[in-house]
Structure 1
Amino acid sequence: MTQDLILAIDVGTGSARAALVEIGNGAILEIAASEYDQIVPAFGWSEQRPADWWAGTVSAIRTVLERQDGAAARIQAVAACGQMHGTVLVDSHGNPTRDTAPLWNDKRTAGLVASFERDNPPASYLSESGNPPTPAWPGFKLAWLRDNDPQAYRAAATVLMPKDYINLRLTGEIAMDEGDASCSFLMNPASGSWSAAMIDRLGLDAAKLPPIRSPLDILGRITAGAALETGLAEGTPVLVGGADYPVAVLGSGVVHPGTASDVMGTSSIITLVTGEPLLDPEICNVRTVEGHWGPFTLLETGGDAMRWARRAFHEKALSYGDIVAKAAEAPAGAEGLFFLPFLAGERLGAHRNARAQFFGIGAKHGLAHLHRATLEGVAFAVNRHIRVMEASTGQKLERVVASGGGAKTELWLKIKASAYNVPILVPEETECGLVGCAAMTATALGRFGKVEDAVGHFVRYSAEILPDPAWAETYARMQPVFDRLYRHSQALYDDLDRLQQG
């Protein structure tokens, strides 16, 4: 039987997805998802069970295999991407040493980060870590686990990221790709190796860190046990794979220096592609799949703002489409209503305990205004980040490529294009993480000389969303007010913390 398919896996925050992709053109033939929940034991904490990722992945794989005759035998290779920073401890047999893993949006390490920032000036660590400190980074999560769950830490042989854990279950092999490693706070960006200086500074055990490998390397092959569970053919090659965010940037076609990406997923991430990391205390850096660097700023609550509104206002009774339709009933600017979208705090800065809020509510405002303000608030917050990036790089954004679930929402794209006041390109296939997996796999199998060539062959754009001149004018007047609200509200966040602590 002809091996004409790739299996792409995406271990997301909301679900595990699997897709059958044609190896010749990158077209997604089948896709399935299996949802799971975040566990929130306390404000600012966020966990998931690695066992749930595996169960979701198995379910999604079996679903797509059932939809195509002989699919398992047609799959030439498997590649996974996954949510970043979820810190999984496993023992020497590959079993988790604790039931849950703290996620990318978990803030329990805020105290450790604050202490680190107090004791270490940026010049002393930026060149060794490639990044400013943040509670997201696995380096700090490992330090927290060492101090607060010493039994699990001592029992751990290795630390893995979510997609690495899935790869371990599929192949029995262990590795971490350069993208995940670059955002650990433990990798030296110049050498691409673990930084002895950062490991020592955080007091961690270097022996627990896995090998760093290229995302295009073949990690191993589907084991007999994994074949039995998933329905995949034993012996099918599996790539090292990549972190979901740089893989989605790749799959959106943003691969050359000077281009920019807006990944509109649970969070919202603005990325520039550059030849070197941008060592700035307000900017993070990730190693891209093709070997460049991606300086980025991240808003923790992007698409998650709409998920929150659906739950809070409608108890999930309405669809996302219904909510967007309701938001469209309100005029641009929501008649002076603002939403600060910090539902999960912030990643960088002195106010990681930021809170969300509506400001300016009057008797004339209704549900449509609230929904519109929610979408616009995310755009204003991201636009603030864009201006930080522009100030640091000295160059203005001229065009942005959108990807992720939010790229399917035309109203939100038009709001963002108008707030940023630049055109937004939309890939024909918005499942950019899965397309990125396919591009990596096709390159690893030798069908393309380099991954940029695969992207050029696979990625097409369906639309260019231009700013609405009237909306852009409205948003330009509102942005300075949003910025002042952001600054003035910071004085209250510590007060809110004290109130919650009693």
Structure 2
Amino acid sequence: MLIGIDIGTSAVKIVLTDLQLQVVATVDRPLSSQYPQPLWCEHDPDQWWAAVSDGLDELARAHPTAMAGVQGIGLSGQMHSLVLLDEADRPVRPAILWNDGRAAAEAAELMQTDIALRRAVGVQPMAGFTGPKLRWLRTHEPEAVARARSLLLTKDYVRLQLSGEKVTDVTDAAGTWLFDQAQRRWSPQALAACGVDPAWLPRVVESCEPCATVRDALAARWGLPRGVPIAGGAGDAAAGGVGIGVVGPGDGFVSLGTSAQILVADTAHRPDPERLVHAFCHALPQRWYRMAALLNGASPLAALASCTGGASVGELLAEVEAAYAGPSRLLALPYLFGERTPHNNPFARGAIVGLSGATTRADLMQAVCEGIAFSLADGLAALSAHTARPERLALIGGGARSAFLAQLIASVLDVPLVLYESADRGPAFGAARLARLAVTGEDPAGVVVAPAVRQVLAPDAALHAAYQPRLEAFRALYRAMAPVWASVA
């Protein structure tokens, strides 16, 4: 048996599988974000551990026999977080998350570094990355930095609680703006630029490498064998790729969760920081990927549902699908948390234009769905500027549950989308696969394969043509709104 744990932004997801990676049970636990000031987004790291431990308690109660046979654990998690620990390994302040924009000025300062450094770390400096946020803390919260003795990332804080070990993997380290992607090691130049003490940093391992074991007391609590190994694991983007077999050159996926990514795997580090493409280490040795990273995935759908009377996202999507008659007259910008690819603008915010007295909540929801699809089209354009467009892409994440939204995205992108079984649990399932590799040491080619295909959604050529003028209007609206973002964010 294997356990895969994904610590996301809105939820912890845990999968229990057998050694053949057939899912035996799943558990979800919600997480909540705090927004203490404009542009800020934080989590209490102990919330992650409470959610993970409670989920494992449930699995122990419901599946004691399976838990007694667990051979390995894999971890995945939201990337780019900043978790500073004191000498007692306690957080000195709340974790600063990937969608936090407070370090915009520090990221702009880091743009003065040599282009060779930006290519080595794989991307331009952006406000949400770990390094710029540490630079912000040195200026604005020096007392917190003075107490710091360790720097960890989200999943690695959970690993510390599970095992007592401070370890990260190459894919999570890749998203810090502190890591040399080609060399797969910390970058002394980036550490110096961001003011990071090398002594704070965890040991770095490959994602499929065993690197720690579960504490005896916790093993007894959950009915696990003693000494269960924990794999290096991976950041959520890379783990999602492992979960659906996207590791070979040209393989790609769209991930639509709280945030969104379009990722294409490769066998070399091919940086393109000028286009705001992220070029990072992948979760298998000698593998890398290129990614358009979007800060707003399906989260605008949940935000609109919250603002329109309490109907669920699913109910609103059903209303849209029932009334759908082609492109909306409304235009929506989905940038609740700013945007990375292709804008690198932490100040961008959401907007809906074209409202009239006849506008319904289904109209609003359709416009937001289209705005998400248009932002993905912008990301794909950046990703494909110097390479061939992918022939098809998998779709993973919670957004994969809606066939209507998936079909809309396929048509706007003009790319077939493949829906796999358990696609909404990609990172947690990928973490379980990494656990198996850590346990068996086998060739990844026999493990990291595509799951069973549930459906292939071909783009609708007529809809694609109909949406092209709306996509251009969407881009024009962003340009028109850009001068006011700082005043509203």
TM-score in same-fold range (> 0.5): yes
What whole-Å deviation, never above 9, does each CA across 1:29-48 have from its counterpart, x for those lacking one? 11111112100001110000
Whole-angstrom distance in 1 between the partners of 2:102 and 2:220: 38
What whole-Å deviation, never above 9, does each CA across 1:241-299 have from its counterpart, x for those lacking one? 11111101111221111122101111110111122233222211221112311111112
Whole-angstrom distance in 1 between the partners of 2:382 and 2:97: 26
Matched, 1:246 2:238: yes
Larger CA deviation: 62-71 vs 410-419: 62-71
Whole-angstrom distance in 1 between the partners of 2:458 and 2:194: 46
Alignment of 1:448-487 (within 5 A): 448-450=442-444, 452-456=445-449, 459-487=451-479
What whole-Å deviation, never above 9, does each CA across 1:371-395 have from its counterpart, x for those lacking one? 11111110011101111221132x1
Larger CA deviation: 161-170 vs 213-222: 213-222
Query: What amino acid sits opposite 1:18 in the alignment?
Result: I
Whole-angstrom distance in 1 between the partners of 2:221 and 2:160: 14
Whole-angstrom distance in 2 between the partners of 1:447 and 1:217: 8
What whole-Å deviation, never above 9, does each CA across 1:171-203 have from its counterpart, x for those lacking one? 111111000111111111221111111111222
Whole-angstrom distance in 2 between the partners of 1:133 and 1:184: 10
What whole-Å deviation, never above 9, does each CA across 1:66-121 have from its counterpart, x for those lacking one? 221323211111111111112111234322222x100011111111112222x335
Matched, 1:167 2:138: no
Matched, 1:286 2:280: yes
Matched with 1:274 is 266
| C-alpha distance 173-483 of structure 1, shift in aligned 2 (>3 A) | same
**Counterpart secondary structure, 2:394:** strand
Whole-angstrom distance in 2 between the partners of 1:245 and 1:112: 25
Matched with 1:35 is 30
| C-alpha distance 90-233 of structure 1, shift in aligned 2 (>3 A) | farther
Matched, 1:223 2:215: yes
Match of 2:181 among 170, 173, 189: 189
Matched with 2:379 is 385
* Contact 1:135 1:347 (C-alpha < 8 Å) held by counterparts: no
Whole-angstrom distance in 2 between the partners of 1:138 and 1:101: 10
* Contact 1:128 1:198 (C-alpha < 8 Å) held by counterparts: no
* Contact 1:130 1:279 (C-alpha < 8 Å) held by counterparts: yes
Larger CA deviation: 459-468 vs 45-54: 459-468
Matched, 1:339 2:339: no
* Contact 2:210 2:439 (C-alpha < 8 Å) held by counterparts: no
Matched, 1:398 2:391: yes
Matched with 1:437 is 431
Query: What amino acid sits opposite 1:339 in the alignment?
Result: A
Larger CA deviation: 242-251 vs 278-287: 278-287
Instruction: Give the deviation of 1:214 after TM superposition.
Output: 0.8
Match of 1:14 among 10, 24, 36: 10
Whole-angstrom distance in 2 between the partners of 1:444 and 1:32: 23
**Counterpart secondary structure, 2:180:** coil
TM-score normalised by length of structure 2: 0.95
| C-alpha distance 437-472 of structure 1, shift in aligned 2 (>3 A) | same
Matched, 1:424 2:417: yes
Q: Which runs of 5+ in 1 are unaligned?
A: 498-502
Whole-angstrom distance in 1 between the partners of 2:282 and 2:325: 36
Matched with 1:374 is 368
Instruction: Give the deviation of 1:228 after TM superposition.
Output: 5.3
Matched with 1:500 is none
* Contact 1:429 1:460 (C-alpha < 8 Å) held by counterparts: no
| C-alpha distance 389-219 of structure 1, shift in aligned 2 (>3 A) | same
**Counterpart secondary structure, 1:335:** coil
Instruction: Give the deviation of 1:238 after TM superposition.
Output: 1.4
How many pairs align? 484
**Counterpart secondary structure, 2:418:** strand
Larger CA deviation: 482-491 vs 349-358: 349-358
Matched with 2:296 is 301
What whole-Å deviation, never above 9, does each CA across 1:131-166 have from its counterpart, x for those lacking one? 111011111122222222223322222111111010
Instruction: Give the deviation of 1:231 after TM superposition.
Output: 5.0
Whole-angstrom distance in 1 between the partners of 2:254 and 2:355: 29
Whole-angstrom distance in 2 between the partners of 1:108 and 1:326: 37
Q: Determine which structure has greater relative contact order: mean sequence separation of CA pairs < 8 Å that are 6+ residues apart, divided by chain length.
A: 2
Query: What amino acid sits opposite 2:399 in the alignment?
Result: G
Whole-angstrom distance in 2 between the partners of 1:17 and 1:137: 23
Query: What amino acid sits opposite 1:441 in the alignment?
Result: A
Match of 1:329 among 322, 329, 341: 322
* Contact 2:80 2:128 (C-alpha < 8 Å) held by counterparts: yes
Matched with 1:145 is 137
Match of 1:237 among 220, 229, 234: 229
Whole-angstrom distance in 2 between the partners of 1:136 and 1:311: 25
| C-alpha distance 487-391 of structure 1, shift in aligned 2 (>3 A) | same
Whole-angstrom distance in 2 between the partners of 1:202 and 1:86: 15
Matched with 2:46 is 51
Whole-angstrom distance in 2 between the partners of 1:338 and 1:307: 18
* Over 4 Å off, 4+ runs: 228-231
* Contact 1:266 1:302 (C-alpha < 8 Å) held by counterparts: yes
* Contact 2:251 2:264 (C-alpha < 8 Å) held by counterparts: yes
Query: What amino acid sits opposite 1:194 in the alignment?
Result: W
| C-alpha distance 194-72 of structure 1, shift in aligned 2 (>3 A) | same
* Superposed CA RMSD: 1.8
Whole-angstrom distance in 1 between the partners of 2:66 and 2:132: 42
| C-alpha distance 87-229 of structure 1, shift in aligned 2 (>3 A) | farther
Whole-angstrom distance in 1 between the partners of 2:170 and 2:474: 37
Instruction: Give the deviation of 1:333 after TM superposition.
Output: 4.4
**Counterpart secondary structure, 1:445:** helix
What whole-Å deviation, never above 9, does each CA across 1:396-434 have from its counterpart, x for those lacking one? 222111111111111110000000011100111211112
**Counterpart secondary structure, 1:165:** helix
Whole-angstrom distance in 2 between the partners of 1:331 and 1:6: 43
Whole-angstrom distance in 2 between the partners of 1:178 and 1:198: 16
Instruction: Give the deviation of 1:334 after TM superposition.
Output: 4.6
* Contact 1:131 1:183 (C-alpha < 8 Å) held by counterparts: no
Aligned-residue identity in percent: 27
Whole-angstrom distance in 2 between the partners of 1:137 and 1:494: 20
* Contact 2:77 2:155 (C-alpha < 8 Å) held by counterparts: yes
Query: What amino acid sits opposite 1:17 in the alignment?
Result: K
* Contact 1:6 1:21 (C-alpha < 8 Å) held by counterparts: yes
Q: Which runs of 5+ in 2 are unaligned?
A: none
Query: What amino acid sits opposite 2:401 in the alignment?
Result: K
